[in-house]
Structure 1
Amino acid sequence: MSTVAKRALIAGLRWTSLRLRLVVVFALVALTAAVSVAGIAYWLNREAVLTRTQDTALNDFRQSMQDRVAKLPSQPTQSELQLAAEQMAALSAKPGYSVLLVDTREAGKPVVAYSDLDAFTLRDVPQKLQEQVNRKQPITAGNAHPYHLFWMRTNLDGAPYLVGGAKVIGGGPTGYMLTSLRQERDDLSSLAWSLGIATGLALLGSALLAQAAATTVLKPVQRLGDAARRLGEGKLDTRLRVSGTDELADLSRTFNRTAAQLEKKVQDMSAREEASRRFVADMSHELRTPLTAITAVAEVLEDEADSLDPMIAPAVHLVVSETRRLNDLVENLMEVTRFDAGTARLVLDDVDVVDQVTACLDARAWLDAVELDGERGMMVRLDPRRLDVILANLVGNALKHGGSPVHVSVRALDGELVIEVRDNGPGIPADVLPHVFDRFYKASASRPRSEGSGLGLSIAMENAHIHGGDITAANSPDGGAVFTLRLPRDLESEGRNDDAQVRGQS
């Protein structure tokens, strides 16, 4: 996957992540609210349904115990108990219940009557409930009766039931009732399903609402991001359409004001830079004519220096040296202005690199001070004049600051031409290294008046860039500074074949 594709994917994930977070937050809030409401509603309805069914059955059972069981003889027979149990079950309020009556005769010989022997027996009554029903309560100010009606909910064969029991006060049978809560369970299950469906619909609705809200919020943010990217690409006339009075509208207005101020400042800076560049170019051009004349006079004076008064000769040599330095500075300034104006062009030719390096060194009488490592026959298509400028600056800088011998190696690596210039000096200080290619930068601020103009290495870098290459500076582990020039071996394949359009200008 390419770098651009990865960046686009990361940007898409970030954008989706914010939308996802909004949807998740909305969904969680809605889910929490829906589950809370559904839980409370279910609990309230459950208690209401079970309480209503239970109260109806227990009240009817209590009344039946008073109306029928309490009127039985003190020691009813089995048939009398059986008839009472059947009548109570038959006349019970809907949904109806089964009845079990127990009367005690002798210890361990109770008389038991069932309304439905298959549905309800004494084994179905929890032991704990039997103990509560038969336990005699003390009579107190808050308790007027020794026996009370007790009940509990239980499961029989996996089904819910309500079991209740009471004892006739004053001596008499004990009665138990059993009624099914299956219908109530089914009704509550239906209610739970309904509440679950409602919760799901609420969750879905909240997700759709969150999606709409996210779109409403993120669309202006996305437009703002796109506008910021266009602004960063240099399209300073980018503006946002503003509507509304909310915070996003205020942010858009702030962006527009900032973009307008930035555009104005950039225009002002561009105008000042253009004026400064034009001034340097005009000044350099205007200085060439008088410099040409001064240089000619200086050369005549230099030829006659030996015949001049010994007191005047040093001044003549100083004038000649400074004139040449001024001439180099003007030429460098004109070269810089061409790079800044974008008018610098390549004049390409097929060049034997080692021969070109040798010619550069020979023209400046540096052959004895430089060790050249490279094989002839390495043909590269480039601008020989600009390569000469690069080499002259790099080698001259190495000789000036590192002394001889300077080692120059030429080789081809991975489709690149690599020229390395290494000296034997103390190296480049760490605080100077990042600035060696800056214009007018000099390592010693206390010596602003040195032989160099501070433009040589920056011009070398510009000439490397126009070839599509680069120059790096570093310190060798063995001592000394190392400048490495890298140029593409085939400029035509790099889309930089300017030969046809500039041959007529050379």
Structure 2
Amino acid sequence: MRRTSLRLRLVIVFALVALTAAASASGIAYWLNREAVLQRTQDSALNDFRQEMQRRAATLPLRPTEEELRRTAEEMSSGGIGYGVVLLGERAKGKPIAGVSDPDRFTMDDVPRELRAAVDERQEVTDGNKYPYHLFWQRTTRDGTPYLVGGTRIVGGGPTGYMFKSLEPERQDLNSLAWSLGIASALALVVSALLAQAAATTVLKPVHRLGEAARRLGEGELDTRLRVSGTDELAELSRTFNSAAESLQKKVADMSAREESSRRFVADMSHELRTPLTALTAVTEVLEEEEDGLDPMIAPAVKLVVSETRRLNTLVENLMEVTRFDAGTARLVLDDVDVADQVTACVDARAWLDAVELDAERGLVARLDPRRLDVILANLIGNALKHGGSPVRVAVRTAEDDLYIEVRDHGPGIPEDVLPHVFDRFYKASASRPRSEGSGLGLSIAMENALIHGGDITAANSPDGDGAVFVLRLPRDASRTDTEREQRQEGDGDEGA
């Protein structure tokens, strides 16, 4: 959709530029041609009229008859220019007469008053103005048809003449010109759209390749590179992308190597610690059995050694579990589990029966890994008892193909700034919680066990402000999730090979 939108924008921009240029050029061409055509027609008609006035009207007597004026007007109008003529004279002083070449075509009513006044006005004769009367003209319209009206009078006495020429042929020629320019503009628009399409294709192909390369890079194919050709900006962009991808691949490889080294170190350390811890655990068990017979001065130290040894043993087991998750070697051992019995067994094994309320329907069976479900429940319920206090309520419900286990306590809740980090490794909200003896890995391991089933865990505060609520979501049948994960891992292994 974005490529189509960009292509469309390029075509529109090209079309607008072409349309603006074509319209501007056509408008200028039309205006220039219009002025040229009208000026040429106007000059030709007015020059011919002036000559006819000098050649014919000037030969009339000072007191011509109406018939003489009419006949002269017809002779003047019969020339090749094709205009109507009106001649004004006087048969006696103060008694005007008129001769019209064609009364149906042109009369004095068609002459504007401003033009009459200009023609009759006597000009002062000076060095720069040798004649008292001049030829004046004006463009007018009658019944939608444009006309040219001109007038002058004979210097030294004689008739006043007016001509009336239609400009309809010139208007038709200009209309034809306008249509031609319009068609040319439309063709320019079409050609510009085709050129824009070609240009957009040329530009967008490298952009599309860059987008595909960026997508593959984002999906983890760090060896993705673009083929560089040319020396333009797109080629430079491709070089920059290749350089960035190479740098990213190197950094990811370095980080992966360091992460693998750290993970191997933790795994080796945890493995090496198990042997001495086993011996320490055996010693602490003996010391714990002999606790009643120990010197009162030594007993507190023995209790501290016993508790810290157990804590260290738990930490080592958690580290080894985290290492298995990071290495991708954790596997599900699925079995049909009665969820209510599993929760009861988890609580009973840790002597929490008096502090936990269970709301679960008996006979609700799900196909899960019972050991990992026990780890999740132990961490969630233990965390609720440690930080929220009893009673802790555990409710089990189902929705479609998912199983939901809600663990609710009645403590002070979780601070808002802590909520986003409750599942982070080694995170402890020491500023808002009493000192915890845990390692900070319990909830993180619980989340990993939920994810490996294809589920998750959410943490929130109760809407009524009474404690925190953890909701575990697991599929009723995790075998499908386990199969898909194994297939994905096999595919990754084939690609790596």
Q: Give the TM-score normalised by the residue count of structure 2.
A: 0.91
The match for 1:70 is 58
Query: How far apart, CA to CA, are the structure 2 residues paired with 1:193 and 1:34?
Result: 13
Q: Give deviations 1:194-215, integer Å, cap 9, x for gaps.
A: 1112222222222222222222
The match for 1:352 is 338
Say yes or no: does 1:49 pair with 2:37. yes
> For structure 2, which runs of at least 5 residues remain unmatched after alignment?
487-497
Say yes or no: does 1:165 pair with 2:143. no
Say yes or no: does 1:384 pair with 2:351. no
Q: Give deviations 1:67-117, integer Å, cap 9, x for gaps.
A: 111111121223322332222223x2x332222222123577532222233
The match for 2:477 is 490
Cα pair 1:348 1:497 within 8 Å, conserved:
no
The match for 2:274 is 288
Query: Which one-letter code corresponds to 2:55 in the other structure?
Result: D
CA RMSD of aligned residues (A): 2.3
Say yes or no: does 1:268 pair with 2:254. yes
Query: Which one-letter code corresponds to 2:443 in the other structure?
Result: L
Query: Which one-letter code corresponds to 1:462 in the other structure?
Result: E
Query: Please, which of 253, 274, 283 is the counterpart of residue 297 of structure 1?
Result: 283
Superposed displacement of residue 389, structure 1: 0.6
Query: Which one-letter code corresponds to 2:47 in the other structure?
Result: N
The match for 2:492 is none
Superposed displacement of residue 290, structure 1: 2.6
Q: Give deviations 1:403-444, integer Å, cap 9, x for gaps.
A: 222221122234322111122222222222211111111112
SS of match in other structure, 1:28: helix
Q: Give deviations 1:25-64, integer Å, cap 9, x for gaps.
A: 2222222222222112111111111111111111111111
Residues 447 and 48 from structure 1, CA distance in 2 versus in 1: closer, same or farther, beyond 3 angstroms?
A: closer
SS of match in other structure, 1:327: helix
Query: How far apart, CA to CA, are the structure 2 residues paired with 1:239 and 1:102?
Result: 93
Q: Give deviations 1:148-199, integer Å, cap 9, x for gaps.
A: 1111122233322222111112221111222222221111111111111222
Residues 57 and 167 from structure 1, CA distance in 2 versus in 1: closer, same or farther, beyond 3 angstroms?
A: same
The match for 1:37 is 25
Query: Which one-letter code corresponds to 1:341 in the other structure?
Result: A
189-198 or 455-464, larger mean C-alpha shift: 189-198
Query: Which one-letter code corresponds to 1:297 in the other structure?
Result: V
For residues 235-384 of structure 1, what are the structure 2 equivalents within 5 Å? 235-384=221-370
Residues 319 and 21 from structure 1, CA distance in 2 versus in 1: closer, same or farther, beyond 3 angstroms?
A: same
SS of match in other structure, 1:171: coil
Superposed displacement of residue 449, structure 1: 8.2
Query: Which one-letter code corresponds to 1:481 in the other structure?
Result: A
Q: Give the TM-score normalised by the residue count of structure 1.
A: 0.90
Cα pair 2:334 2:479 within 8 Å, conserved:
no
Query: How far apart, CA to CA, are the structure 2 residues paired with 1:237 and 1:416?
Result: 39
34-43 or 440-449, larger mean C-alpha shift: 440-449
Superposed displacement of residue 497, structure 1: 8.5
The match for 1:443 is 429
Query: How far apart, CA to CA, are the structure 2 residues paired with 1:107 and 1:73?
Result: 14
315-324 or 386-395, larger mean C-alpha shift: 315-324
The match for 1:18 is 6
Cα pair 1:491 1:497 within 8 Å, conserved:
no
Superposed displacement of residue 130, structure 1: 2.4
Superposed displacement of residue 447, structure 1: 10
Total equivalences in the alignment? 485
217-226 or 490-499, larger mean C-alpha shift: 490-499
The match for 2:87 is 101
Cα pair 1:373 1:408 within 8 Å, conserved:
yes
Query: Which one-letter code corresponds to 2:467 in the other structure?
Result: G
Query: Which one-letter code corresponds to 2:382 in the other structure?
Result: G
Residues 478 and 175 from structure 1, CA distance in 2 versus in 1: closer, same or farther, beyond 3 angstroms?
A: closer
The match for 1:9 is none
Residues 447 and 288 from structure 1, CA distance in 2 versus in 1: closer, same or farther, beyond 3 angstroms?
A: farther
Q: Give deviations 1:299-338, integer Å, cap 9, x for gaps.
A: 1222223233333333333222222222211111111111
Cα pair 2:453 2:481 within 8 Å, conserved:
no
The match for 1:81 is 69
For residues 90-129 of structure 1, what are the structure 2 equivalents within 5 Å? 90=78, 92=79, 94-106=80-92, 109-129=95-115
The match for 2:49 is 61
Percentage of pairs with the same residue: 75
Query: How far apart, CA to CA, are the structure 1 residues paired with 2:274 and 2:43?
Result: 117
Query: How far apart, CA to CA, are the structure 2 residues paired with 1:189 and 1:497?
Result: 75
Q: Give deviations 1:108-131, integer Å, cap 9, x for gaps.
A: 753222223333233333333223
Residues 118 and 449 from structure 1, CA distance in 2 versus in 1: closer, same or farther, beyond 3 angstroms?
A: closer
Superposed displacement of residue 471, structure 1: 0.9
Cα pair 1:442 1:448 within 8 Å, conserved:
no
SS of match in other structure, 2:163: strand
Say yes or no: does 1:156 pair with 2:132. no
Superposed displacement of residue 269, structure 1: 0.9
Say yes or no: does 1:399 pair with 2:393. no
